[in-house]
Amino acid sequence: MQPICPACGHENGQYRADDAAPYFTILAVGHLVIGPILVFPFILTAPIGLVLGTTLPALVVVTLGLLPVIKGAVIGGLWAVRGPADVSIT
């Protein structure tokens, strides 16, 4: 996320996403990828090296691909509900 919006100049750096973005990313990946992948029997029958070698890189790519998008959504949510960041909460 860019600290200053290139389109409108709004200061996005004032919003603190903290752990919300990784939390929602893990929540989404867990429910949309890891849960459904357990339906496929290959997870249980294929050699462990093959399963880990294929699923872990895919999970890393999906997680790191989703993280900036979800962080932007968290920042957008903070902007929508609070307006300017509340600096009295530390």
Binding site for Zn ion (CB under 5 A): 5, 7-8, 10
Please write down the HEC assignment for all residues of the chain: CCCECCCCCCEHHHCCCCCHHHHHHHHHHHHHHHHHHCCCCHHHHCCHHHHHHHHHHHHHHHHHHHHHHHHHHHHHHHHHHHCCCCCCCC
Nearest to Zn ion of 15, 29 (CB atom): 15
Nearest to Zn ion of 9, 41 (CB atom): 9
Q: How far is the CB of 55 from Zn ion (least distance, A)?
A: 37
Nearest to Zn ion of 17, 29 (CB atom): 17
Q: How far is the CB of 13 from Zn ion (least distance, A)?
A: 12
Q: Which residue is nearest to Zn ion (CB)?
A: 5
